[in-house]
Amino acid sequence: MILSMTGFGKAEDNFSNKNVSLEIRALNSKQIDIYTRIPSDYKDKDLEIRNFLKDELIRGKIDFTLTISTQEGVGNTTINRDLAKEYFNELKGLSKDLGVDLSTENIIATLLKMPEVLTAKQKDITETEWNLLWHVIGEAVRRLHKFRQQEGQSLQEDLLENVTTIERLLDEVEQYEPERIETVKLRLQEQLKGLNIEVDKERFEQELIYYLEKLDINEEKVRLRNHCHYFRETVNSNEQSVGKKLGFIAQEMGREINTLGSKANHMNIQQLVVQMKEALEKIKEQTLNVL
């Protein structure tokens, strides 16, 4: 079963006085691009986390957001008093220039929100806390995998439905082939009559056979059927990441359909080719979502 490249996984847990919350989002991408948002206390695990995500998620634009909230109060933070004073003096000067009273009621709350005034104290992370973190990461990744599987099921059904449409349209082409050949013959004969010249019938037959061989579409039909069969095999395989392969197969299907259309010389066959192209475009769009 194929997997979708998009997905979402969220996990939470508690440790001592801390709440650990993690969200992982995956979107479409040709390669794997990982963006992490991690509290500074945990930055030394960034590379290890990235390698883990790369191995597990294979492909996609990965947005990893880790949030740690603590119940500790002021003792867990430091106030940069000198910086706060500088901000206060600047605000006081600004209020004077603007002729606006500086309210002392809310000024402290405002100063504490200014950049780098209030910072958390760095703490060493214990081995137990690291283990908890990896448990949360593993759970979030498992949930993202489950999301990918559910989305992949819908993708698989849609892809196979469009492949079936192409195969059905290809079957319909055969009913018009005898008429197509006769139409080509009659058109050539009428064009020759219009030239008002004497034609060597034997030579004409030889040239006609050669011309009709150039317009033969049997090879294109066989190759297109084989590509459709290979596409089905790939979708139903146990390979974990088949999105790129399906994209390549879809390109080959497109080549055969285009050649079929250029050789058609028949209105009904050309209409069938247009419908094949429509189904193929849907396939190409969906393969971009496949892992």
For the stretch 76-108, pLDDT in tens is 567 778 887 887 887 777 777 777 666 655 777
Sign of CA dihedral 128, 130, 134, 139: positive
pTM: 0.72
User: Is pLDDT of 44 > 90?
Assistant: no
**Alpha-carbon distance values, 41 to 24, 66, 77, 120 (Å):** 19, 11, 13, 9
Check if the beta carbon of residue 3 is closer than 8 Å to that of residue 152: yes
User: Across residues 262-280, what is the average pLDDT?
Assistant: 91
Q: How many Å apart are CA 32 and CA 25, to the nearest integer?
A: 12
What mean pLDDT, rounded, does the chain reach?
Answer: 84
pLDDT at position 244, please?
92
Q: How many Å apart are CA 23 and CA 141, to the nearest integer?
A: 9
Check if the beta carbon of residue 2 is closer than 8 Å to that of residue 286: no
Least confident piece of the model among 157-166, 210-219, 221-230, 268-277: 210-219
User: Is pLDDT of 124 > 80?
Assistant: no
The CATH number of the structural domain formed by 7-73+125-147 is 3.30.230
pLDDT at position 76, please?
59
pLDDT at position 284, please?
95
The percentage of residues in the chain with a pLDDT greater than 70, rounded to a whole number, is 81
